[in-house]
Structure 1
Amino acid sequence: MPKKPALAAPSIDPLELHDLEEGDVARLEAHGMVDATRFEGGDVSGDDLSGLAFNDCELVGVTAHETQLRAARFVSTRIERMNAPVFTAARATVRDAEILRSRMGSMELYDTDWQNVVVSGSKLGFVNLRAARMRDVRIVGCTIDELDLSGAQLSRVAFEDCTVETLRLDGARLSNVDLRGLDMHVIAGVEGMRGATLSHEQTVLMAPLFAEHLGVRVDG
């Protein structure tokens, strides 16, 4: 029997930020560009910051409820302890970035690009990643109410010590996606799991779901 190829783990370089200037979130503007700046605290709730580009930045303890960040760019940027009951960043780019210890409720992140990203220690509500493209992403120690990956493309994505109440995978395309560290309560679009890796325990627990999807009757 041919040997199965090994699961490829996410390849992510550590994010290192040095010599950052102190900035004020009140001065941020739509379609602007910010380099090598640290923002601590402040509230941009309700502001229109569409197209804003952060490069080599750090945002710590910022409140961003209903802030419009459509097509924004977060490159070599760390977001820590952000509070955003509603977070809107459709078609954004997140690259070489970290999202740490944040609380975000409804997250509109459809059609976004993610590459070399770590999301850790965060509590998330409804996360809309429909049609997103995610490559080399680690999600660690997060609690998620609903994760919608319908139509998304994932490559080398791993979940570790995470819980999701509802996972949607309709039309998703997965390659080297490690779900062994994800406690999933409800799954929609089971056919989208092709390309994922599950633990033996997960496979046993999900056997009735797989049987139903295949139209197999289990008797006795």
Structure 2
Amino acid sequence: MARSPESPAAPRVSPPDLPETLTPAEPARSADLLASRLALAGDVDLAHATLEQCVVTADAGTIDMTGADVMDVDVTGIRAASLKLRDAGIRRVRITGGRIGTLDLSTTRIAELELRDLRIDYLNLGAAKATDILVADCTIRALDMPQAQLTRVRFDDCRSDEVDPRGLRAKDVDLRGLDALAFIDTNSLRGVTLTTFQVQQLAPILAVGVGIEVRDLA
């Protein structure tokens, strides 16, 4: 199917809707937190919790938010060895500034997520179903997207050592702002947008993928 002249469509990302007054709260598994301010430290268990209209800071080890519902949440200045959001539901979440060892978004349902000014060792979007993601000014050592379904996703001024898109289903996924040293399985990049320079860099691998042998004259 031919793309429209406006493609790729930009992600529709809006800031979290936060109240003027926030109440300090303590994290707990399956907690129901509304209009709260959380300062996370150590190993934190927020699995299956609900966070709505919250502001979060963190200097922590492992933050487990597996299966959580996270809506209108602003995370700033995070330092964490691991942030687990596997199987979570995310809507209008912004994470800005800081360092995360592993950010696990696998099998997560995402609608409006902004990642900005972060250093991430490993970002896992495996089998995620995501619409409207903006990743800006981030360094991501390894980016995995196997079997992910991504719509309206854009990278701006980002760098990565390795990108794994195997089985990716992409619509309006803009990788022009992602400076990646290596892509695993370029055949899975169908549906993404790249610059001419990026395509030139990938040309030998793309040729192999369609059965073309590339060999210069001696």
Q: TM-score range by the shorter chain?
A: over 0.9
CA shift for structure 1 position 82? 1.1
By how many angstroms is 1:20 displaced? 2.7
What is the CA RMSD across the aligned residues, in angstroms? 1.6
Q: In 2, are the aligned partners of 1:12 and 1:117 still within 8 Å (CA)? A: yes
1:38 corresponds to: 37
Return the structure number with greater strand share. Answer: 2
- 1:18 aligned partner, one-letter code: P
Percent identity of the aligned residues?
A: 27
> For structure 1, which segment, 116-125 or 7-16, has the greater mean C-alpha deviation from structure 2 after superposition?
7-16
Q: CA–CA distance in 1 between the matches of 2:170 and 2:76?
A: 28
1:18 is paired with a residue whose SS is: coil
Separation in 2, partners of 1:122, 1:160: 12
Give 1:104 deviation, angstroms: 0.4
**1:100-179 matches, cutoff 5 A:** 100-179=96-175
2:173/2:192 contact within 8 Å kept: yes
From the superposition, tell whether residues 100 and 213 of structure 1 become closer, same or farther in structure 2 (CA, over 3 Å): same
Distance in structure 1 (CA, Å) of the matches to 2:34 and 2:64? 20
Corresponding residue for residue 46 of structure 2: 49
Contact 1:171 1:189 in 2 (8 A): no
Structure 2: how far apart are the matches of 1:205 and 1:136? Answer: 27
C-alpha distance after superposition, 1:24-54 (max 9, x if no partner): 4xx2211111111222x441x3232211111
- Structure 2 partner of 1:194: 190
- TM-score w.r.t. length of structure 1: 0.91
Structure 1 position 3, deviation (Å): 7.5
Residue 206 (structure 2) pairs with residue 210 (structure 1) = yes
User: In the alignment, is the contact (CA less than 8 A) between 1:167 and 1:186 conserved in 2?
Assistant: yes
Query: Contact 2:117/2:137 (CA < 8 Å) preserved in 1?
Result: yes
Aligned-pair distance for 1:90?
1.0
Q: Which residue of 1 aligns with 2:19?
A: 18
Give 1:77's aligned amino acid: V
Would the aligned equivalents of 2:40 and 2:56 in 1 still touch at CA under 8 Å? Answer: no
Partner in structure 2 of residue 58 of structure 1 = 55
Equivalence for 2:6 = 6
Higher alpha-carbon deviation: 80-89 or 14-23? 14-23
For structure 1, which runs of at least 5 residues remain unmatched after alignment?
A: none
> Is 2:15–2:93's contact at 8 Å kept on the other side of the alignment?
no
Residues 28-37 or 2-11, more deviating = 2-11
Shift of the alpha carbon at 1:166? Answer: 0.7
The CA deviation at 1:10 is: 0.7
